[in-house]
A and B are shown apart, each in its own frame.
Chain A
Amino acid sequence: MRIAGVELRSRLILGTGGASNLDILERAIKESGSELVTVSLRRVDTAATMSGGLLDMLDRCGVRVLPNTAGCYTAREAVKVAHLAREAFETPWVKLEVIGDERTLLPDGVELLRAAEELVADGFQVLPYTTDDPILARRLVDAGCAGVMPAGSPIGSGLGVSNPHHLQLIRQSVDLPVILDAGIGTASDAALAMELGCDAVMVASAITRAADPVRMAAAIRHAIEAGWLAARAGRIPRRFHALASTPDEGRPHL
């Protein structure tokens, strides 16, 4: 898979949020095979920043960092955080999040597009966390984004892909990477997203908050590979009635 000219072997993008400690997170990242891992930007003196140990650990894992703008509610705020993230992590890549409200954490499409336009003009490789609206996805691509990250369902909900049809419509209208983001609950959700035509799946809570994050990382890695293969293997059409797989021909007359 290519994002912004960079070849990635893994189609799993891992979010680091929600892990109970760095050791489990490191083992989950290694098990996931992910080469692209998100981080957020917070004040240095909070527990969440783990005294700088997070970046050292990600170095050990050999993964590329994808900064997010989590917690931003306006384009203005998100653009500022993106610029700070570029300073901190020396990467022009950004997972652009502009949230609409606290209860759903769903994207605010108007602010998102505004921020995307500004960041593209500033030389960023923008991967916007968007809704499953195919028209908005196309508008984001037209604005110069490096791909789109439609939500399967609200962040952390574990509800999976709530509108599979819209995801297929996005796939049809966007030639750049489509990365299912948010809502994955377990491996089968990730497999479905890939079967619907996504290029990759972004997972945080489903792995980091699983009872056994390392095992779930392996499960979702396999599911993404399975879904990707299945999407290219040509599934059989759905039928209302049965179609025997064993031939009638040569059936014994008893």
Chain B
Amino acid sequence: MKVVVNGIPQALPDGATVADAVRAVTSVARGVAVAVNGEVVPRAGWPGAALRDGDQVEVLTAAQGG
């Protein structure tokens, strides 16, 4: 299965979840939020949220900003 995580195509095994996509880009879970196809996925739902081919995943965290 191919998904796009933070703008970069990633190959993930079939059945991969949001939790897997997060682990693919960061080892830190604290201070991280996720949107799939523009919809917020609450942290508690990451392990149960199955991804589908072509999903656009945004994995976000704190950055400097005014």
Chain A residues proximal to chain B, CB less than 8 Å = 15-19, 25, 38-46, 48-52, 54-55, 58, 65, 67-68, 70, 80, 83-85, 87-89, 155-156, 182, 202, 204-205
B25 in complex: contacting residue of A45, A67, A202, CB < 8 Å: A45
Contact indicator A49/B66 (Cβ below 8 Å) = no
Contact indicator B63/A41 (Cβ below 8 Å) = yes
Give bound CA distance, A78 to B15, whole Å: 31
Contact indicator B64/A52 (Cβ below 8 Å) = no
Contact indicator A88/B66 (Cβ below 8 Å) = no
Contact indicator B61/A155 (Cβ below 8 Å) = no
Q: Given contacts A39-B63, A87-B33, could you give 17 more A-B pairs where the C-beta distance is less than 8 Å?
A: A17-B64, A19-B64, A38-B65, A39-B62, A41-B63, A42-B65, A44-B28, A44-B61, A48-B64, A49-B61, A68-B66, A80-B38, A84-B35, A84-B58, A87-B42, A88-B60, A88-B61
B43 contacts which chain A residues (CB < 8 A)?
A: 87
Contact indicator A89/B62 (Cβ below 8 Å) = yes
B66 in complex: contacting residue of A15, A50, A58, A85, CB < 8 Å: A15
Contact indicator A41/B62 (Cβ below 8 Å) = yes
Give bound CA distance, A58 to B63, whole Å: 12
A41 contacts which chain B residues (CB < 8 A)?
A: 33, 60-63
B31 within 8 A of A: yes
Contact indicator A16/B58 (Cβ below 8 Å) = no
Bits for B16-39, please: 1 = Cβ < 8 Å to A, else 0: 000000000110101111110010
Give bound CA distance, A39 to B30, whole Å: 15
A40 contacts which chain B residues (CB < 8 A)?
A: 62-65
User: What are 30 inter-chain pairs, A to B, with CB distance below 8 A?
Assistant: A17-B65, A18-B66, A40-B64, A40-B65, A41-B60, A41-B63, A42-B61, A42-B65, A43-B6, A43-B59, A44-B25, A44-B26, A49-B61, A52-B26, A52-B31, A54-B63, A54-B64, A55-B31, A55-B61, A55-B62, A58-B62, A80-B35, A84-B33, A84-B34, A84-B35, A84-B40, A87-B40, A87-B42, A88-B32, A182-B66
Bin chain B's interface residue count.
Answer: 20 to 34
A104 to chain B, nearest CB (A): 15
B13 contacts which chain A residues (CB < 8 A)?
A: none
Contact indicator B63/A49 (Cβ below 8 Å) = yes
Contact indicator B61/A38 (Cβ below 8 Å) = no
B7 within 8 A of A: yes
Closest to A87 in B: B33
Closest to B8 in A: A45
B66 contacts which chain A residues (CB < 8 A)?
A: 15-18, 38, 68, 70, 155-156, 182, 202, 204-205
Closest to A70 in B: B65
